[in-house]
Each structure stands twice: as structure tokens, then as C-alpha cells.
Amino acid sequence: MGMTTMPKQSFVQGTVILTVSSLITRILGFASGILMARLLGPEGMGLMMMAHPLIPLLITLTEMGLPVAISKLVAEAEAQGNVWKVRRILHVSLAITGTLSVVLTLGSLLGAKLIAAWLLPDPRAYYAMLALTPIAPIIAVSSVLKGYFRGKQNMKPLAYSDIVEHIVRIPLILALIQLLLPMGVEYAVAGAMVCSVLGEGSSLLYLIVQYRRNRERQDMPEAAKPPRAGDRKTLRELLEIGLPTTGQGLILSFYSALQPLLVMKSLELAGVDTAEATKQFGLLTGYAFPLLFFPGFILHSLSTALIPAISEASAGRDVPMVHQRLDQAMRIAFMIGAPGTMILYGWAVPLTTVIFHSPEAGHLLELLAPIFFLQYFETPLGAIMLGLGRVNTAMWNFIASTILKAAAIFVFGSHMGIYGVVLGINAGICLLTFLNFFTISSAVGFFLDMRRLWKTIVGLLTMFVCGKYLFLFLAKTGFPLIWSVLGSIAAALVIYAVTLYCLMESDFSRMFRGKANNRIG
């Protein structure tokens, strides 16, 4: 058999490629988010967040958990050299996704008014929800192609498609918001949603072009093709992984759809009127959350590369390689998440003041940041569980944590207002991270190395004390707030990096030479 294959990157190369592209897209997205927040205000951001919940539900139902299954099964088939299985996985997945996406999207558009009356606490979000609905089938088909490229461990098409999407979307959004804002904030938000659809469409077009350009061309005769009955087997394998992932996605989508109602109702019981509750919801989801998720782009890239890498190692029964990937992922999560958390907590109010002109969002950020640190571990932990085939356990862990989070948000929010909502979110994060941690710990037997942990804590404390002192010094000497914030944070990060390197030079050398053991810290 003769064939040409698309380029394949190593685990580290794939992570670096995705990290660089994620950094570019995060900076672009973050900058556009700041401009949108200033143009639309807290009320407009609240309407935008209310318009989103239906879309994850549609995407989850159309994807059927297939992207994760595709990534895992393609990686395993590649390890076995089974070319026809790779192609069959993609064809079966696209057939399922294409059919479901057309049916569900048409149904959502026809029943949009009924859905809006049930889901949207503010009726002005109806136009934005309607405008965003066509994005579901585009994302669903894109995710199938991305799963295919992930399984092939070729991360370049994923990286470039995300950049293309942002380059198309951001200028259109900013232009259309300013054009439609005089008509009302609800129309400006709807215009932004239309531009999001166009951006995702451009990303899908790029992925299709790359697939057609890079797909393998075999000299294998027709007689060598596997029988059509293999489609049924492939479908079964896909659904064995995809259905539990779909269950988890459905719970997330239902929770996301109900979260605005849950938060608004709890705030109402706490005595907050609708307009103020919408504003507080916008501060939480439009201002605080983007800052919290910003440091996680490296971990998201890491997790994307982890699933096929661990699946391939697991399929080859290479246990030491599984341990090595786990060790690298956890240590990177700690070293990235810890300083990010410290900055978001220590500079919360100055950051939200400089970026959003909203110091009140900083108080919410202060309460979320310390516990959100655990979320930086949850992302790679979830990817490792999927790579090891613990899909059902991952689903039940997520369901348990989501039920607790929803109950805690309602109970605490109805008594303590928006700060109670934050407390409920923190409770859900804690439970999910610890459940996933102990699941993997029982499966592969890794543990915390307190020596490394204390070294990192020393670096964090040194960074925090020096950075805060410099911030206060710059502020007192008359520097503008933006330069005081940027200068002190940059200095704090340099101090952290230098301190950590001095304390853990031998650990860094081992990790990047790939001679890691099965510890984290």
C-alpha cells in the first residue's frame, strides 16, 4: 500500500502549536471583549450571556460526543496502522452530525419564541438568541473535523482555523455593534451574534480546505476495503464513548440554559430588582469570568493534545508514557494556574478598573480566584480520564458536581445575593476537581510531592509581596493606574519565574528532558 500522510506532531510540539495559537486568539478575543464590554455596558453583556445557553444544548445534541470519540479512536487506529478505519470513523461521524444538526436547528428556529419565553429572563435577549442559532450546525461539523485532526495529532489546522475565525469575527462585531447601537442595545447584541456565525463559518471553510488538501490517497484496491458492515461496528465504538460525553454535555447545556434563570431568581429572592440583577449577572459572566479563564488557554491546549497522546499510549499499553504525560500535565497546570490565581486575586480591583472601568467586578473576582485555581487542574484531569477510557466516571463526576453547584447557587444566592452565587460556583468547582483527581489517582497511582509544592509556594509568596509593594510604590509616586498595574504584574511574573527556576532547576531539567516520574507538584 502506498499513501501520503498528513504531517504529525509530537505531544510537546502539538501543545506548543496550540498554545501559541490560543495565546493569539485569547489576546484578540480579550481585546474585542473589552471593547464590547465598554460599548454594550453591563446590561448588554448580560443580554449577550443570556442568549448563549440554547446554543451549547444544540451543539451537544448534534455532536453526540463524537469529537472526543473521534480523537481517541483515530489515535488508536493510527497506532495500529488501520487507514480505512480512520476514514470510516470520519465518514460515519459526519453523517450523524450533518443529519442531527439540520433537524435540530430547524426545530429550534421554528420554536424560537416558545423557547425564549421559557429560557430567557429578559425578553430583549430573544433577537440575539435567534441570530446565534445557525452557529450550532457549523460548530458541530467543525468539531468533527477538529476531532479528526486531533486524532491524527496534526494540530496546525486547529490552530489556524481558530485564528481565521477571530480575524473574520472581531472587526465585523465591532463595526456592527456601533452601527446598531443607536437602535437599541438588544439589536446591537443580535448583530454581534450574526458576526459570530460568520466567523465560525469561515473557520469551517478553512478546515474543509485543509482536509481536502491533506487527506490520504491510497493505492489500496477496492477488494482490500473492509465490508460495509464495519460502519455498524464503528458507529457502536463511537457511541460507547460519545454517549457518556453527550450526557455530560447535556447536563452542562441544561445547566447553562437554566443558570441565568437560577441566578436571577435567587437574586430576586434576595431582594434585587431585575435591572440590577441583570447588571450583576453581566459583571459576573462578562467581566470576572473572562479574566478567570484567560490563564487557562495553555491548559486547554495541553488537554487537547493529551487525549490522543494518552489514548495512543494506552492502546500500546505503554504505562510509563501515561505516567509521564500525567506528570507533565499536572506540573504545568500548577505552575501556570498558581501565579495566574495570585495575580487575579491580588490585583483584582485594579485589573477590572483598568480593563472594564468596573471596580465592583473586582470584588467578585477576589472571591472567585482562590477556588478557581482548582479549575486549572480540572481541565487536564478531564482529558486524562477520557484518554484512559474513564468516560462514564467523568460523566457521573460532572453530574454530581453540577447538581451541587446549582443547589448551592440557589440557596446561598437567595440569602446572600451575588456573593452567595459566587460561593455556590466555588462549591461546584471544588467537588468536580477532587472527584476527578481521586478517580485518576486510584487508576494510575500518582501523588503530591510536598517538596515541590513548598518550593512553588515560596516562589508565589515572593512574587506576591514584591509585586504588591511595587504596585503601591508606583501608585504613590503618581504613575497612571494602567502603568502601575502592568509594571507591577510584569515584575511579579519575572520574580516568580526566577525564584522558581533557582529552587527547582533540577526538576525543570528532568521534566523537559522527558524523564518525569509519576508525581505532581
pLDDT digits (tens, 9 = 90+) for 425-459: 999 999 999 899 888 888 776 655 566 677 788 88
Q: Above 70 in pLDDT, residue 521?
A: no
pLDDT at 30 over 90: no
Looking at the predicted structure, is the pLDDT value of residue 13 above 80?
A: no
Percent of residues, the chain, with pLDDT higher than 90:
19
Q: Is 421 a domain residue?
A: no
Contact 217, 4 (CB under 8 A): yes
Is residue 498 assigned to a domain? no
Task: Give residue 276's pLDDT band: very low, low, confident or very high (50, 70, 90).
Answer: confident
Across the strands, what pairs with 447? 519
Does residue 492 carry a pLDDT above 80?
yes
> Does any domain span residue 30?
yes
Map residue 519 onto helix, strand or coil: strand
pLDDT at 85 over 90: no
* Mean per-residue pLDDT, 211-231: 57
Q: What CA–CA distance (Å, rounded) separates 218 from 172?
A: 42
- 224 band by pLDDT with thresholds 50, 70 and 90: very low
Q: Per the domain annotation, does 89 fall within a domain?
A: yes
Q: How far is CA 33 from CA 117, 278, 299, in A?
A: 28, 18, 21
- What average pLDDT does the segment 343-351 reach? 92
H or E segment to which residue 293 belongs: helix 289-293
By residue range, what is the domain housing residue 228?
Answer: 1-244
Most confident of 154-163, 304-313, 344-353, 449-458: 344-353
149 contacts 8 by C-beta, under 8 angstroms = no
**Residue 146, in any domain of the structure:** yes
Domain count, the chain: 1
Q: How confident is the model at residue 125 (pLDDT cuts 50, 70, 90)?
A: confident
Task: Supply the pTM of this predicted model.
Answer: 0.68
Cβ–Cβ under 8 Å, residues 158 and 150: yes
In a domain, 252, yes or no: no
- With beta carbons less than 8 A apart as the criterion, state whether 52 and 75 touch: no
pLDDT, residue 7, reads 63
In a domain, 255, yes or no: no
Segment 134-156 shows an average pLDDT of 85
Share of the chain above pLDDT 70, in %: 88
Arithmetic mean of pLDDT, 179-207 = 88
Question: Does some domain include residue 319?
Answer: no
pLDDT value at 519 more than 50: no
Q: What's the pLDDT score for residue 72?
A: 82
Least confident range of 37-41, 387-391, 507-511: 507-511
Rank 170-179, 253-262, 500-509 by mean pLDDT and report only the highest. 170-179
More confidently predicted of 207 and 86: 207
Residue 487's pLDDT band (cuts 50, 70, 90): very high
DSSP assignment letter at 82: -
* 350 touches 485 (CB < 8 A): yes
pLDDT of the residue at 512: 46
| 79 pLDDT tier (thresholds 50, 70, 90) | confident
Would you say residue 116 has pLDDT above 70? yes
Q: In this model, does residue 163 exceed pLDDT 70?
A: yes
